[in-house]
Amino acid sequence: MTDETKSGPEKPEEYKEIFAANIPDLPLEDFEPDIEAIVDEIEDKAHGALTYAFIGAGQGGGRMAKAFYELGYTKTLAINTAKNDLNLLKIPEEHKFYIDHYGDQGAGKDQVKAAIAFEAREQEVFNKLKSIVGENVDRIVICAGIAGGSGGGSVVPLIKLCKKYFTYVGKEGDASERIGVIASLPTTGESASPVVAKNAYNRMKQLCAMAKEKKFSPLIIVDNQKIKKLYPKLTVKAFWPTINNTVAGLFHIFNVLATQNSDYTSFDPQDYDSVMKSSGCMIMGVTAVKDFESETGVSTALKANLETTLLAEGFDLKTATAAAGVVVGGTKIFEETAGLMDNLEHAFSTLAAITGNAMVHRGIYEDPRKDKLVVYTLIGGLDAPQKRLEDLTKFMKLDPYGDE
């Protein structure tokens, strides 16, 4: 290269002159950025395939969230506009958030008032999530009794807030697939109040539509009236704990089973995640199989399981898009029962037929501690339970000032 074709200076001093002349100083160069990091101060102790956080909204939602907390889901937060309900909830105080917008009595049964109160404290709830949930979370499930004020009024704003949270912590994928709702319907006695029936109907109709539109997944409906009918001998003191502990326990079982290896057929984390992402409503069930030696014994028990599920009536199971059937049996049963594998295959085929040939994920696990055979079912992607919603409208019509 000749001197004529060279470009640029050769001496360091000349470089310095050019940079001094062309690179401006920026006002922020001398300031340290104040970046607030999210620290996972609370460790999840459930040890499932997915790390969950639970938000309990209102009295009923708080009770449900407490049941999950006791199973090791320590990333749990309870919020309420009624201070007394929070005081009675036996979880650590730092896991509670009181929305003191209307004083100690809360929003009552007024869901509009509850929504207004929540929105006024939304940023504080978000900040509370940061301290309780942290970054290490796969899904957030909102628990709410949708007939009340705090639960029914805040459940939809909470869905939006959780989407914002997942965006904030930088989780990949669609945030809508990371948010679920467990919504409980009132008993007939509670629904006798037209206000309660109207609250439950309007909110459930909205949630079912949102779930179908994939704005969150899944929607698990707990029908307290059906549980009351199935288990009439439950005492008053045992009623709510039995419901909440059973629903939380069923939910937990699938999350834990998805972490287990099997010598037979594994229900792995990908299988579990795909069912949880199926849009629409979801039901769960469990049954012990007594007649597992007969060809149809397991499949008959499985069908009965779906008919007596703890969740709402009125589902068309053929609308399902995904399902899981997991069998757990004792070592002696697996070793000594001739033809059991064929019986299990027949049961899985029955589940596929009942669910309109939805994608059925299977799991077969041997538990040496058990002396029985248990079948667990998880069915997602269901349409709304129309009949149960229609039942609520009968009570709404008793209200001379209602919209129906």
CATH number at residue 235: 3.40.50.1440
Residue 276 lies in a domain: no
**What angle do helix axes 58-70 and 236-257 make, rounded to 10 degrees?**
50
Give the pLDDT score at 30: 54
Q: What DSSP line would sit under 5-29, residue for residue?
A: T--S-SSHHHHHHHHHHH-PPPTTT
CATH of the domain at 311: 3.30.1330.20
Tell me the pLDDT of the chain averaged across its residues: 87
Question: In this predicted model, what pLDDT tens digit does every residue of 253-270 receive, in sequence order?
Answer: 999 999 999 999 999 999
Question: Coil, helix or strand for 76?
Answer: strand
Total count of domains within the chain = 2
Question: In this predicted model, what pLDDT tens digit does every residue of 153-187 receive, in sequence order?
Answer: 999 999 999 999 999 998 877 899 999 999 999 88
Residues 249 and 287 in one domain: no
Q: Which domain holds residue 172?
A: 52-255+386-396
Which among 251, 328, 329 is positioned nearest to 283, based on CA atoms? 251
Residues 286 and 220 in one domain: no
Q: How far apart are the first and last CA of the chain?
A: 90
Residues 366 and 232 in one domain: no
Peptide bond into 92 cis (omega under 30): no
104-116: average pLDDT: 81
CA distance 311 to 378: 12
Give the pLDDT score at 192: 85
Residues 371 and 390 in one domain: no
Residues 77 and 194 in one domain: yes
Question: In this predicted model, what pLDDT tens digit does every residue of 32-90 receive, in sequence order?
Answer: 545 455 667 899 999 999 999 999 999 999 999 999 999 999 999 999 998 889 999 99
pLDDT band at 119; cut points 50, 70, 90: very high
Flag whether pLDDT at 332 surpasses 60: yes
pLDDT band at 19; cut points 50, 70, 90: very low
Residues 6 or more apart from 158 whose CB is under 8 A from it? 55, 57, 118, 142, 144
Cβ pair 166, 135 in contact under 8 A: no
| Tokens matching residue 107 | 């929003």
Residues 74 and 217 in one domain: yes
Share of the chain above pLDDT 70, in %: 86
Residue 344 lies in a domain: yes
Residue 36 lies in a domain: no
Residue 160 lies in a domain: yes
Flag whether pLDDT at 14 surpasses 60: no
pTM above 0.95, yes or no: no
Residues 175 and 117 in one domain: yes
144-161: average pLDDT: 94
